[in-house]
Amino acid sequence: MHKQSPIGIFDSGLGGISVLSEIHSFLPKEDLLFLGDSKYNPYGTKTKAEITERCIAICDWFMAQDVKAIVIACNTATSACVDVLRKRYPIDIIGMEPALKVACEIAPDQKIAVWATNYTLKEKKFANLMHRFDQDYTILRVPCPKLVELVEKDALDQSALIQETLEGYLAQSQAADSIVLGCTHFVFYRKMLENLVSKDVHIVDGNAGTARHCKDVLAAKDLLNDAGGNIEFHNTLPEKIALSQKLLNELEEEL
């Protein structure tokens, strides 16, 4: 492992490309390896043991590629096994959790809806996070499995279907003051969601915080690269690689 080693980034499917984009923006000179586990998507309906097995297989592959850090670009996988992975591997494992703290810092006495997978919302890790804030804030758990499916099926151009789906989840959010996008797939809907809610509603995700943390971790170990910048896509369903590049291009066009 050295400065020129790549950073490994993985997700249960294609949602983590939103994290990949953010990391590439923060660290444009880093070589990035993205692995989407679309063959086994979604993780949100699987058991902890099943998710852990997949994450170990992925991280074993990353280690064979001599990565210098691994980013779990998936809230569900982080909830399931980040501690197991950190004990197993000798490099930094950077996880994600719903950006509830960020939302709470916006204003006091809010109603906050956390949109995430079923697994993330029922796990002890999220319960502990929620308990830190639920005495001062009204926090709603809103599982949104259809938003994962639409990204994986390359249906982001089906605006009527997406709007109907978002409106259904908004109805469950009970006029929340803030909406936390607690799944990396959901960032692809951010612009449309912003058009459906009042300007007073805050839409929050954890991607920028994850990218900053990745930079800080590498800087602390003098592992920042200044001579790279390549992005390489892999997927357990190889036919998803073209869609992976398409999704990254769409995100980067929005910047």
Which residues are designated catalytic? 74, 183
Q: What is the separation of C-alpha 222 from the centre of its chain, rounded to a whole number of angstroms?
A: 26
216 burial type by CB count under 10 A (0-12 exposed, 13-18 middle, 19+ buried)? exposed
**6: how many CB neighbours lie within 10 A of its CB?**
21
Cα–Cα dist 9/17, whole Å: 9
175 burial (CB, 10 Å; 0-12 / 13-18 / 19+) is exposed
Interatomic CA distance for residues 153 and 155, integer angstroms: 5
Residue 115: strand pairing partners: 142, 181
Contact by Cβ (8 Å): 183, 144: yes
C-alpha separations of 153 from 34, 106, 140, 148 in Å = 19, 34, 28, 9
**Across-strand partners of 7?**
32, 69
Residue 50's CB: how many other CB atoms inside 10 A?
13
Q: DSSP labels for 77-103?
A: HHHHHHHHHHHH-SSEEE-----HHHH
